[in-house]
């Protein structure tokens, strides 16, 4: 009886310890998710009328929505443009600053600076690079006698411009993770393979890269989440234009919710994004995890 009581008390004690985190997660993560899901089955009620339940009608509308498909395609291109590039760049930079080189600390800091800048500030800096007449890039091109490009105004170039900026912003951040992982690899491994005359290239692919896999997986998930989370630089740079050429999913959600006041349609798009993300993350963890060595 006494033991039973003590046991119960320990359980309550444990539950109490979990409570703060559970409350925070519940209110700010799970509750909104469920609310969004419910919202997506309704039409917004205007002028005080109660929302009307329409079942999957919103989803049917979404499938018909040409803008949605364009935005989704943009986002896919954006993801394909930013994720591999920024990861490869991050790994390259990490390998570079992990080596013995003069002024290593300075270089590391320089690589990390874009990460420290707030998105809005970074986007503002890039506005000056991209601006059609006074912009840095066009000035440089002009000095070489080339006609400038309307970096953010030309529908064919604008998305690429946004991608380049994102890579610049993210690579430094991912580099830090790679750098930490590289420094946890014991130097004897390199020495042992040197004694066998293993080339640098071969050592990288046979030892370093596999040992960095957990980091790569982590960075990959992060990069993916970031790719569908872009709102702030679109605000400053393009506002999704021209003609939705740079419009991305979350910005489209924002537009629907706060410009067109169609909150339930915004909820519908959000649910679709969540579903896609969940599927991709599950795939990654099940397929890649099996091949990943965790120490």
Partner 1 sequence: MTAMPCLNRQRGRSMNPDNNNQGQSPEPSLRHQPAGQQRGSRERQRIRLEAVSKQWGDTVAVDAIGFDVTPGEFVILLGPSGCGKSTTLRMIAGLEQASAGRIHIGERDVTHLPPGDRGISMVFQSYALFPHLSVADNIVFGLRSRKVPKAERRERLARVAQLVDLEAYLERKPAQLSGGQRQRVALARAIISEHPICLMDEPLSNLDARLRGEMRREIKALQQRLGMTVIYVTHDQVEAMSMGDRVILMQDGGIVQDGTPDELYDRPATAFAAGFIGSPAMNLVTLAAAADGAVIDGEPHCSVAAHEAKGHWLGVRPEDIRLLPADAPGVPAEVIDTEYLGADSIVSLKVGGQRLRARLEGRPELAVGSACCLQWRHEAAHFFDAGSGRRLAITGHDLAAPSGRHRFASGGARATAATAVQDGEARASSNHAGNDSSGVNR
Site residues for partner 1 per CB under 8 A? 186, 188-189, 191-199, 202, 206-207, 210-211, 213, 293, 295
CB-nearer residue toward partner 1: 199 or 243: 199
Return the structure tokens found at 75.
Answer: 């986002």
CB-nearer residue toward partner 1: 214 or 242: 214
CB-nearer residue toward partner 1: 19 or 192: 192
CB-nearer residue toward partner 1: 4 or 293: 293
111 touches 172 (CB < 8 A): yes
CB of 190 to partner 1, least distance (A): 9
CB of 198 to partner 1, least distance (A): 4
CB of 138 to partner 1, least distance (A): 48
Cα angle for residues 37, 75, 110 (degrees, 5° grid): 115
Per DSSP, the residues of 11-70 read HHHHHHHHHHHHHHHIIIIIHHHHHHHHHTTEEPPPTTPPPEE-TTHHHHHHHH-HHHHH
CB-nearer residue toward partner 1: 75 or 208: 208
Rounded Cα distance between 293 and 212, Å, is 9
The whole-angstrom distance between residue 14's C-alpha and the CA centroid of its chain comes to 35
User: For residue 261, is it left (φ>0), alpha (ψ between -120 and 50) or beta?
Assistant: left
Per DSSP, the residues of 56-86 read THHHHHHHH-HHHHHHHHHHHHHHHHHHHHH
CB of 182 to partner 1, least distance (A): 15
Q: Tokens 């491994």 label which residue?
A: 189
CB of 192 to partner 1, least distance (A): 4
CB of 284 to partner 1, least distance (A): 19
Considering only CA atoms, give the Rg of the chain. Answer: 24
CB-nearer residue toward partner 1: 25 or 189: 189
CB of 202 to partner 1, least distance (A): 6
């Amino acid at each position: 009886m006494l033991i039973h009581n003590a046991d119960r008390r320990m359980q309550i004690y444990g539950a109490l310890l979990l409570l703060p985190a559970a409350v925070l997660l519940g209110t700010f993560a799970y509750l909104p998710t469920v609310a969004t899901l419910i919202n997506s089955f309704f039409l917004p009620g205007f002028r005080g009328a109660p929302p009307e339940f329409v079942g999957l009608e919103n989803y049917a509308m979404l499938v018909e929505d040409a803008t949605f498909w364009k935005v989704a395609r943009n986002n896919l291109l954006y993801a394909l443009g930013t994720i591999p590039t920024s990861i490869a760049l991050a790994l390259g930079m990490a390998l570079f600053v992990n080596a013995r080189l003069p002024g290593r600390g300075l270089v590391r800091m320089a690589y990390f600076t874009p990460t420290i800048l707030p998105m809005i500030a970074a986007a503002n800096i890039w506005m000056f690079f991209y601006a059609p007449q006074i912009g840095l890039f066009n000035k440089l091109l002009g000095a070489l006698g080339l006609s400038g490009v309307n970096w953010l105004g030309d529908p064919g170039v604008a998305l690429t411009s946004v991608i380049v900026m994102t890579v610049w912003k993210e690579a430094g951040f991912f580099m830090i993770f790679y750098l930490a992982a590289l420094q946890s690899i014991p130097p004897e491994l390199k020495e042992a393979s040197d004694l066998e005359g293993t080339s640098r290239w071969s050592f990288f692919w046979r030892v370093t890269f596999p040992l960095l896999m957990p980091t790569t997986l982590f960075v990959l998930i992060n990069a993916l989440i970031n790719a569908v989370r872009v709102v702030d630089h679109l605000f400053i740079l393009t506002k999704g234009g021209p003609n939705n050429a740079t419009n991305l999913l979350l910005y489209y959600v924002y537009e629907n919710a706060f410009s067109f006041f169609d909150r339930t349609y915004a909820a519908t798009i959000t649910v679709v994004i969540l579903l896609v993300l969940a599927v991709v993350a599950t795939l990654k963890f099940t397929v890649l995890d099996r091949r990943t060595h965790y120490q």
